[in-house]
Amino acid sequence: MCLGAYSLYKQRQKIGDIPETDNELKCHAIPESALSEKYLKNWVMWNGHEHEYQLHENYTHALDQLCKQCADQADTQSESGSLRDLCDSMLAFGS
């Protein structure tokens, strides 16, 4: 699932449109490029739901969830640290 779809999914959960879930990601299947500035710039306007769910302002909710779930699934401290660095960069980029 791309970050845009995941953001819409988590935003709809946050506002009560659909039931909340946790730990639904298989983080080792997510490419590192999903946490790149280039990728983040490309998904912001991808399917027409951006304004309805204010994804441009609320993508950080999904990114926080992704980072939390994937940190919990990290196999090593090094992996967790690298993920934390990528997440911090993406959260700073969106600010």
- Mean pLDDT for 40-62 is 66
| More confident site: 48 or 80 | 80
- Mean pLDDT for 70-86 is 92
Domain total for the chain? Answer: 1
For the chain, the average pLDDT equals 81
Instruction: Grade residue 24 by pLDDT with cuts at 50, 70 and 90.
Output: very high
pLDDT above 70 as % of the chain? 77
Q: Inform me whether the pLDDT recorded for 95 exceeds 60.
A: no
pLDDT for the residue 88: 87
Measure the CA–CA gap between 20 and 45, rounded to whole angstroms.
24
Q: Containing domain of residue 77, as a range?
A: 3-94
CB pairs under 8 A, 24+ apart, for 59-64?
A: 59/3, 59/7, 59/94, 60/91, 60/94, 61/7, 61/10, 61/11, 61/14, 62/3, 62/6, 62/7, 62/9, 62/10, 62/11, 63/3, 63/7, 63/87, 63/90, 63/91, 63/94, 64/91
